[in-house]
Every structure is written in C-alpha cells, then in structure tokens.
C-alpha cells in the first residue's frame, strides 16, 4: 500500500473526515479560511501600498507584518496538508488543484521578492526600480486571486469549475475596468505613474 493510501485510511484521517466534532474537519477548514485571510490580506496591503495607495506611509516598517503573513501561510500549509490527506486521490485528479499549488508558489516567490527588495535589505534602503516593484505587486495579487478561485471551484464538477473560472475572470475584468475608471475619482486607485511619492 502506498503512503497516500495509508494516510487516507489512517485513524486520524478517518476521524477528521467523519467525526462531527468541531475539532475534526471543521477545525481544519476554519483554520484554512482564517489563514487565507491573513496571508492574502497582508500581501494585498503590501501590493496596494506599492501600487500607490496610502503613498505617505513609509514602506520599510511594513516589514513587521511579514511575520503575520507567514503565520497565515504556515497555518494554511499545515491545515492544507491535513485536508489533502483526507482525500488525496480526489485532489490529485483535479486540474484546478495543480493550478492552485502553482499559483501559491508564484505568489510566495513574488512576495518574498517584495520582502527582500522593497521592504528590507540593502536594496530597500538604496531604493529600487519602482516599475519592477509594481509588477511584483500585480503578480502577487493576481496569483492569490487565481489560487482562491482554483481552491473554491475545486468543490464542484469539472464543467462548473470551467464555467465558474470564466465567470470569475469576467468579473475580475469588470472590476479592474471599474477600478481604472472610477477608483481614481474616489481616491482608491494609484496616482499617476511617475509620481515622486508613489514609492519611498
């Protein structure tokens, strides 16, 4: 028997899957949700700041929030492993599961670059290429969006997965247009490119 089979049929996995206890499945799914809000929320805030929102706020001290972002990340990595071993073969046959893992990997790499190049280290002190930082910020937000969409639609049939993904992309495009057109007026969107204060 392979390791995944033995994990899937282990006493722990059976208990987590089947017990009505709040410490079984419900604990891991709620942790996965709270961790998601921490990691995606904090890295989105970094991205907004880099894209020009709250541009009077100094960037370097935001480094202190990294530990809370990584706390959220590790809560989700660990709860994610538990949720995975409950039904490993279901996840391994879902294309969106691989898309989600890939999106998470891209987001982690990009946010680590933001941490090293924008928030701390000699590069942050010296200054850096604002355009490169903005690209990283967009990559972080886009990959978390893909990860959330892929994670959520995994609970539905393949047909619905495709349809929901298309619906999410259309909604995202509409929101992005809304941001570009209206956001500027209400002060949510970034100031004009090249603004001296947009990164400091």
Partner 1 sequence: MEAVLRYILDWPSLNSFLNQNAWGWPLLEITHFFGMALLFGIIMMFDLRMLGVAKELPLAPFRRLLPWSIFGFVLSVVSGLGFTLGLGANLFGVNAYDVLLTNLYLQVKIVLIVLAGLNILFFYKSGVGRQVDEVGPGEDVPGAAKAMAAASLVLWTGVMYFGRLVPWGL
CA nearest neighbour of 80 among 49, 34, 142, 149 = 34
Nearer to partner 1, 160 or 173 (CB): 160
Nearer to partner 1, 38 or 199 (CB): 38
Nearer to partner 1, 166 or 173 (CB): 166
Classify residue 190 by its DSSP letter.
P
The CA distance from 110 to 113, in Å, is 5
What is the DSSP code string of 57-76?
S-SGGGGGGHHHHHHHHHHH
Q: Least distance in Å: CB of 184 to partner 1?
A: 13
Nearer to partner 1, 10 or 33 (CB): 33
Report the interface residues with partner 1, using CB under 8 A. Answer: 22, 26, 29-30, 33-34, 36-38, 40-45, 48-49, 53-58, 60-65, 68, 144-145, 148-149, 152-153, 155-156, 159-160, 163-164, 166-168, 171, 186-188
Q: Least distance in Å: CB of 166 to partner 1?
A: 7
The CA distance from 53 to 48, in Å, is 5
Asked whether 70 and 42 are in contact (CB, 8 A), the reply is no
Q: Least distance in Å: CB of 44 to partner 1?
A: 6
Q: At what angle do helices 95-114 and 25-50 cross, to 10 degrees?
A: 50
Q: Least distance in Å: CB of 143 to partner 1?
A: 13
């Amino acid at each position: 028997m392979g390791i995944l089979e033995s994990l899937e049929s282990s006493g722990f996995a059976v208990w987590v899957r089947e017990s009505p206890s709040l410490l079984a499945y419900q604990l891991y799914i709620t942790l996965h949700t709270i961790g998601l809000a921490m990691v995606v929320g904090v890295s989105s805030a970094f991205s907004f700041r880099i894209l020009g929102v709250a541009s009077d706020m100094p960037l370097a001290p935001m480094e202190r929030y990294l530990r809370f972002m990584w706390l959220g990340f590790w809560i989700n990595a660990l709860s994610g492993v538990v949720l995975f071993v409950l039904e490993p073969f279901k996840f391994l046959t879902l294309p969106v599961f691989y898309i989600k893992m890939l999106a998470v990997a891209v987001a982690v790499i990009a946010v680590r670059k933001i941490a090293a190049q924008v928030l701390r280290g000699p590069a942050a002190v010296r200054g850096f290429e604002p355009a490169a930082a903005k690209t990283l910020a967009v990559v972080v937000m886009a990959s978390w969006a893909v990860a959330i969409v892929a994670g959520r639609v995994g609970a539905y049939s393949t047909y619905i997965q495709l349809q929901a993904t298309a619906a999410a992309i259309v909604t995202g495009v509409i929101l992005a247009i809304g941001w570009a057109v209206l956001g500027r007026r209400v002060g949510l969107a970034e100031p004009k490119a090249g603004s001296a204060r947009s990164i400091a």
